[in-house]
Chains A and B, each alone.
Chain A
Amino acid sequence: MVVTAYSVTQQIEALIVLANPSYVIQGWHGALFTIAITLFCIFFNTFLIRKLPLMEGIALALHALGFFTFIIVLWVMGPRGSAKQVFTDFEDNNGWGSVGLATLVGLLSPITTLIGADSVCHLSEELRDASYTLPWCMITTASINYVLGFIMTITFMFTVGDVESALRTTTGQPYVQVILNATQSRDATIVLTATMALLLLFCAINQVTTSSRQLFAFARDNGLPYSAFLSYVSHSVSGTPI
């Protein structure tokens, strides 16, 4: 969950750089931001949990609309690489010494992308008819999300332009630089990056929900120190483990 909080942090830092180009990203700024966002997510899950279905609705709309916004902006305004070049361009920019090894190290990135979809199983005790609905939900989610991710990967790789300059961006995020190059508009880039930050914030909130259920279940089976304390379910505040 902190990974996602850190991603939100990166987006916010990119936003600051966009709005104020003289700002230089510092490590400790990121750490403090990450802690603040994690605390916010925990607060949200403790006291505003009853608003969760509403927030899910908003976030789902953003998730779909944001996807098309990014796709359309990149398709219409971005530069277009040739298919042969994009599909066969393997690079080793970090000096691993071998392109094959570098590509395999790059495996980490799609794994981070695709790993989230199974976490939903921790909510199974709050789901109606869980043993039937949940497997369907996991498969549907996987199918939809994998396709979305693939389209986005392809789109980005075709429109990235010069890889070197995208990586050397001051915002710290290559995609922000690519969108900035494509739209040539600071304001549009700020809006799109803010959408991204908001979506990742929702993702972080959901992850806190998930991992709290997981901690609760493990404590219920006496797997942790202070299990009795951790598996206590507060009925007066939210009806959820805190």
Chain B
Amino acid sequence: MNTDDFDTKTPGVFEQTAPTDSEKIGEKYGTQHDRKDMNRLGKLQQLRVRYVFRSSWRRQLTAISPSSQRNFRFLSILGYALILGCTWEYALLGTLFSLPNGGPGGAIWMYLIVAFFFYFVMLSMAEMTSMAPTCGGQYHWVSEFAPRQHQKILSFLVGSSDNSQSHSSQANQESQQDGSLSSHGSPAWL
């Protein structure tokens, strides 16, 4: 399944020639659909491309045979997504915030409301993913759907806020720590 577990100690065994025929490309770069999608984006498949060493004991990058693989399939990506979602864990952690703000009743009803509306968000995201499956995600879709004159600025705004949100929420977290634990989300703390 995992084709990049090639044995570097025995030279020549896993040596591969450049993928010339379409069959091979289909195997290495995903299905026909995947290639069509990448063409549509105007991008080359770059992730998980590995170069095979022709003479492995010298460790020379002489071979130019990118043996890429799209190595996630439905079940593995499902597992990945389930763990990334982490809902029941966060349902327990979130009680720290939802118990003082709304109590048990509030927590349950708010959960139902949020789940209902988030499901539509997921549906539309899934729709957009099926049109343009790209690493970029949200900012790419914004640029596809925005009017031509606003395309660049809107896409840049979404992209940079996405990135800064997922990479640098440290400051926010640390300021949360400064408030005492019981005052999470209370007006006095704000």
Interface positions of A (Cβ within 8 A of B): 1-4, 6-7, 10, 25, 27, 30-31, 34, 50, 53, 56-57, 59-60, 63, 66-67, 70, 81, 86-97, 99, 102-142, 144-146, 148-154, 156-157, 160, 163, 166-168, 172-175, 196, 199-200, 202-203, 206-207, 210-211, 213-218, 220-221, 223-224, 233, 235-236, 239-241
Contact = CB atoms under 8 A, between A and B. Distances in A.
B156 A121 contact: no
A2 B103 CA distance: 27
A59 B136 contact: no
A89 B126 contact: no
Contacts of A114: 85, 87, 114-115, 118
A86 B107 CA distance: 10
Main secondary structure of the interface of A (DSSP, over half): helix
B81 A3 contact: no
Contact of B34 (A128, A157, A174): A128
Given A67-B88, A129-B33, A211 B167 contact: yes
A138 to B, nearest CB: 4
Given A129-B31, A134-B130, A217-B135, A91 B72 contact: no
Contacts of B111: 110, 113, 149-150, 153
Chief secondary structure at chain B's binding surface: helix
A56 B30 contact: no
B82 A90 contact: no
B107 A153 contact: yes
B92 A199 contact: no
B30 A86 contact: no
Contacts of B183: 94
B24 interface: no
Interface string B147-179: 000000001100110110011111001101110
Given A87-B105, A173-B96, A130 B30 contact: yes
Contact of B79 (A7, A60, A131): A60
Contacts, number: 409
A36 to B, nearest CB: 13
B129 A109 contact: no
B134 interface: yes
B112 interface: yes
B134 A125 contact: yes
A43 to B, nearest CB: 16
B83 A63 contact: yes
A104 B104 CA distance: 13
Interface of B: 2, 4-5, 30-31, 33-34, 37-38, 43, 45-51, 61, 66, 68, 70-74, 76-115, 118-119, 121-123, 125-127, 129-131, 133-137, 139-140, 155-156, 159-160, 162-163, 166-170, 173-174, 176-178, 181-183, 185-188
A139 B169 CA distance: 27
B185 to A, nearest CB: 6
B179 to A, nearest CB: 9
A113 B167 contact: no
Nearest to B95: A174
Contact of B93 (A10, A151, A211): A10
Given A60-B83, A113-B87, A233-B49, A149 B115 contact: yes
16 contacts: A27-B174, A91-B105, A92-B103, A94-B183, A102-B101, A107-B113, A108-B185, A110-B115, A130-B30, A130-B34, A133-B77, A146-B115, A167-B99, A214-B137, A218-B163, A240-B48
A233 B47 contact: yes
B50 A127 contact: no
B84 A207 contact: yes
